[in-house]
Amino acid sequence: MVQAVKDFELPYEYMYDAGKICEEYIHPDDCKEYEEDIEAVFSGKKEYHDLTYHARLKKW
pLDDT per position as a tens digit, 3-54: 777 777 776 666 667 667 777 888 889 989 988 998 898 899 999 888 898 9
Predicted local confidence at residue 60, as pLDDT = 54
Domain borders along the chain are 1-60
Supply the angle between the helices 18-25 and 31-42 in degrees, to the nearest 10. 150
Report the greatest alpha carbon distance in the chain. Answer: 30
DSSP 44: T
The DSSP bridge partners found for residue 45 are none
User: Is the whole-model pTM more than 0.85?
Assistant: no
CA dist., res. 41 & res. 48, Å (int): 6
* Neighbour-count burial for 45-58, b at 16+ CB within 10 Å, e otherwise: eeeeeeeeeebeee
